[in-house]
Structure 1
Amino acid sequence: MIKLAKKIAFILTLALLLGLMLFFFFDKPLPEGEEGPAADQLADKMLRAVNYQAWESTVAAQWTFFRGHNFLWDKKRNLVRVLWDDFQVLLRTTDQSGKAFKNGKELSGDEASEALKTAWEYFANDSFWLAAPFKVYDPGTSRKLVKTDRGDALLVSYASGGVTPGDSYLWILDDDGTPQAWQLWVRIIPVGGMEFSWEGWETYENGVKLSNLHDGIMDIKISDIKLAMEVSDLNDGIDPFQNM
């Protein structure tokens, strides 16, 4: 027992030291920037590069996040179907209400509430990795132009929205405004400035451009991306929300 306790203590100490090393060597402060027309012009340039107008006119989106979460989103009606493991949730994104099922059986009470909460958290996070470039003017955002050794970058901060308000993202853009990477200052990652790539760009319905790979401390892959003008077009002609 003494040897086991010493081994556990050694592992915990090593993990703590590695965490401290990661923090001190890689943690970056939130960069300084300037709000105003120049920042908004850079944001507009990014929106043009990813075809924001086409995204806004597209009604439905479907994708699978790398953790096995599948989404069918009706943007016009603010409804999303979330599938994972044995769960299916039909969620209203405006107030996080809806219906939850496990193995085809509708849940109620605390089980339903927990499933709805989980579905909302999955959607808020996973849709952001899909569509964050389109959200630089969301309510509660501020934009700053940041001078970097990689050119002008766009710092977007979120005072509200999602499940972790207060997060900030620094967009690294190429010459035409297409995102190449972002650096994160977010609650769920204790090291500030962690970077993930935005790559695997493809063009979808109406000319919308979406990235399907984010390479960083882990690879975040998005697959089975489809867009349409009606949600039923992505679900064998059936509207999954007809009884909502």
Structure 2
Amino acid sequence: MKKTFRYLLKGILAFVAFLLVTFIVLKLVYNDDIPKGIPGTPADEMAFKLLDAIHHKEFTEAKEIHWTFRGDHRYEWKLQQNMVAVYWEDYRVLYQTQYPEISFAFKNGKRLEGEEQQAAIDDAAFHFNNDSFWVVAPHKIFDIGTTRELVEENGKQKLLVTYHSGGTTPGDSYLWEVDENYQPIAFKMWVRIIPLDGIEVTWSNWEMTAGGFPLSRKRSLFGIEVPVTDLKVIP
């Protein structure tokens, strides 16, 4: 029994050591400082070109966007009503994005009240803020509380967007790279919930939706696809 415990302990220690070494290596690789750029008109002009490339006007006119994230968070977002139905496990929350205080929640079909309702609404807000970003992030570069800077990097012009307020994790920054038509192809991110700086996520397989604007159908991090499925636009 003691020998088995020693082997088990050695295995656990070896695994912890492996994770520690892996983290240190990744931290050394992904330890970029946030670049400095030119704010104001030059940055905003590039931002407008990016929005034109992804048909932002048509996006703002869409009625609904539906999708599933990681196979367990499902969304039905009614853009014109600023309302999104969020489904996970036994919960359904009708979350009002502009006025969260008028949101309401259900569990197993029963309406929640008091602290249980508030907890469910808070969870829905957190899920929606994170999961919707992976669907429509390029459309959020002029959100309230954002600043933009034009960055020259490796002979290319890129757009640095920082979210100073709003959402769940204010202070996050994203450096967008675009193609020759100003369509986004990747961003590097500096976010509080990830201890690695400058991780790149690619955005590809842009396809036109029924709403008259394209959406990326594939976003990859470390070569692993970010799991957005059942993506549909109702014009």
Moved more, 201-210 or 114-123: 201-210
Structure 1 residue 77 corresponds to structure 2 residue 81: yes
* 1:129-153: CA deviation from partner (whole Å, max 9, x where unpaired): 1111111111111111111126111
Dislocated runs of 4+, deviation >3 Å = 1-7
CA deviation digits over 1:75-120, x for unaligned, max 9? 1221110011222111111243422222222223333222211111
Compute the TM-score of the two structures, normalised by the length of structure 2: 0.91
1:237 — aligned with what? none
Structure-to-structure mapping, 1:122-137, within 5 angstroms: 122-137=127-142
> Residue 74 of structure 2: SS of its match in structure 1?
strand
**Given that residues 30 and 193 in structure 1 are in contact (C-alpha distance below 8 angstroms), is that contact kept between their aligned partners in structure 2?**
yes
- Rounded to whole Å, the distance in 2 between the matches of 1:15 and 1:109 is 42
**SS at structure 1 position matched to 2:226:** strand
The 5 A counterparts of 1:110-121 are 110-121=115-126
Provide the C-alpha distance between the structure 1 equivalents of 2:67 and 2:12, rounded to a whole number of angstroms: 41
Identical positions, percent: 38
**Pick aligned residue for 1:148 from 147, 150, 153:** 153
2:51 matches 1:36: no
Q: Is the 8 A contact 2:71 2:229 kept in 1?
A: no
Name the counterpart of 1:184.
189
- Segments of structure 2 that go 5 or more residues without pairing to the other structure are none
Q: Tell me, which stretches of 5 or more residues in structure 1 are unaligned?
A: 230-244
2:185 matches 1:195: no
Residues 198 and 150 (structure 1), Cα distance of their counterparts in 2 relative to 1, 3 Å cut: farther
Match for residue 165 of structure 1? 170
Indicate conservation of the 8 Å contact 1:212/1:221, yes or no: no
Cα pair 1:150 1:172 within 8 Å, conserved: no
- How many Å separate the matches in 2 of 1:17 and 1:95? 45
- The two structures, once aligned, show a CA RMSD in angstroms of 1.6
Looking at secondary structure, tell me which structure has more strand per residue: 2
- Name the structure 2 match of 1:242: none
1:135 and 1:127 mapped to 2: Cα distance? 10
Contact 1:60–1:74 under 8 Å retained in 2: yes
Residues 1:12 and 1:206: Cα distance change in structure 2 (over 3 Å): closer
Name 2:67's counterpart in structure 1.
Answer: 63
Letter in structure 2 aligned against 1:149: N
